[in-house]
Amino acid sequence: MSYGLFSEYPVYHSLYDDFVWMQRFGDPLFHRHVALASVWGLIALRLADDEIIPFNYVSYASELEESSKVVEDGCPGCAVSFSPLHKSIKQLEKAAMKIHMEKKVLQADKWGLNTRERTLKVREMNDRLMMAERAFTNREGLAGRPWYKHMIYASSDQDDWGTKAFPGIVSAMANAQKLNTSESWRLLQHEIYRGARAVSKASAVLDGRLT
């Protein structure tokens, strides 16, 4: 989360990119810093205090669909299939819509359940929302970078600071396009399956089929 644009930040990564420049020119009195810290604080309060965790997997699934298209477009004519990934994202969309509707019903019917029954239903839904994000991780981590456990988002190994969606697939794709061997293409297909499995696992958790 940030404000401003690099094009409006002329000292970016220069010798003058320091506290003094920020204090005198960039953000005198630090109003923008306070505003951004306030946004972070409000997010933290919502995560802590909302009865049901405010995670929206419908938009998450939409983002994954767009990201998967970007990744696939980077490999036109490749001898691999992205259909397992697209299929898993469709499953996530259905599971996300299901829990979204369950959440709306539960929030609208605050007085229809006794206190204990409602508490149990809210707890079960929060567990599904929380554990679904963890389902995107893999114990073995990314190939060559096992300290990164998330299969959906991680720092890119293609540049020094960018973040990539489906980083394992992107890395394997770059390697396959460089080497162009049957083994490198096989490993790319393997990474597509790994990404698809992570998304399918998250879908199963959201749907209540996996705990």
| Number of Cβ within a 10 Å radius of residue 166 | 28
Q: What value does the mean pLDDT take over residues 1-17? A: 77
The number of distinct structural domains making up the chain is: 2
Q: Is residue 82 domain-shared with residue 186, that is, in the same domain? A: yes
Do residues 111 and 144 both lie within one domain? yes
Please give the pLDDT value at position 12.
Answer: 83
Q: Is the Cβ–Cβ distance between 159 and 151 less than 8 Å? A: no
Pick the more confident residue, 140 or 111.
140
Does a structural domain hold residue 145? yes
Whether residues 109 and 32 share a domain: the answer is no
Note whether 108 and 62 are same-domain residues: yes
Strands 153-155 and 163-165: antiparallel
* Of 49, 64, 93, the domain-final residue: 49
pLDDT score recorded for residue 59:
96
pLDDT of residue 197: 97
Residue 94 sits in the same domain as residue 117: yes
Among candidate residues 49, 68, 90, the one where a domain is terminated: 49
Task: Kindly report the three-state secondary structure assignment for every residue of the chain.
Answer: CCCCCHHHCCCCCCCCCCHHHHHHHHCHHHHHHHHHHHHHHHHHHHHHHCCCCCCCHHHHHHHHHHHHHHHHHCCCCCCCCCHHHHHHHHHHHHHHHHHHHHHHHHHHCCCCCCHHHHHHHHHHHHHHHHHHHHHCECCCCECCECCCCECCEEECCCCCCCEEECHHHHHHHHHHHHHCCHHHHHHHHHHHHHHHHHHHHHHHHHCCCCC
Determine, yes or no, domain membership for 2. Answer: no
* pLDDT (average), residues 85-104: 97
Among 11-25, 81-95, 133-147, 193-207, which is the least confidently predicted range? 11-25
Buried b (16+ CB within 10 A) or exposed e, 73-86: eebeeeebebebbb
Claim to verify: residue 39 and residue 75 sit in the same structural domain? no
Q: How confident is the model at residue 137 (pLDDT cuts 50, 70, 90)?
A: very high
Distance CA 57, CA 138 (A): 19
Query: Is 132 within the bounds of a domain?
Result: yes
**pLDDT value of residue 50:** 94
**63 shares a domain with 120:** yes
- Report the pLDDT value the prediction gives residue 2, as an integer from 0 to 100: 76
For the CA atoms of the chain, what is the radius of gyration? 21
Instruction: Report pLDDT digits (tens) over 144-187.
Output: 999 999 999 998 887 777 788 999 999 999 999 999 999 999 99
Does the predicted model carry a pTM greater than 0.85? yes
The answer to whether residue 7 sits within a structural domain is no
pLDDT of residue 210 exceeding 90: no
Structural domain including 33 reads 17-49
Token match 């829990």: residue? 99
CA triple 198-203-206, angle to 5 deg: 125
Q: What is the CATH number of the domain that holds 142?
A: 1.20.930.40
Same domain, 90 and 119: yes
How far does the chain reach from its first CA to its final CA, in angstroms? 32
Q: Are residues 93 and 182 in the same domain?
A: yes
Do residues 37 and 86 share a domain?
no
Is the confidence at residue 60, as pLDDT, over 90? yes
Question: What residues are paired with 164 via a beta bridge?
Answer: 154
Last residue in a domain, options 34, 49, 64: 49
Query: Are residues 27 and 87 both part of a single domain?
Result: no
* Residue 161 counted as domain residue: yes
Instruction: Tell me, yes or no, whether 163 and 75 share the same domain.
Output: yes
Whether 10 maps to a domain, the answer reads no
Please report the pLDDT score of residue 115 as a whole number.
Answer: 82
**146 or 1, which is more confident:** 146
Percentage of the chain modeled with pLDDT above 90: 77
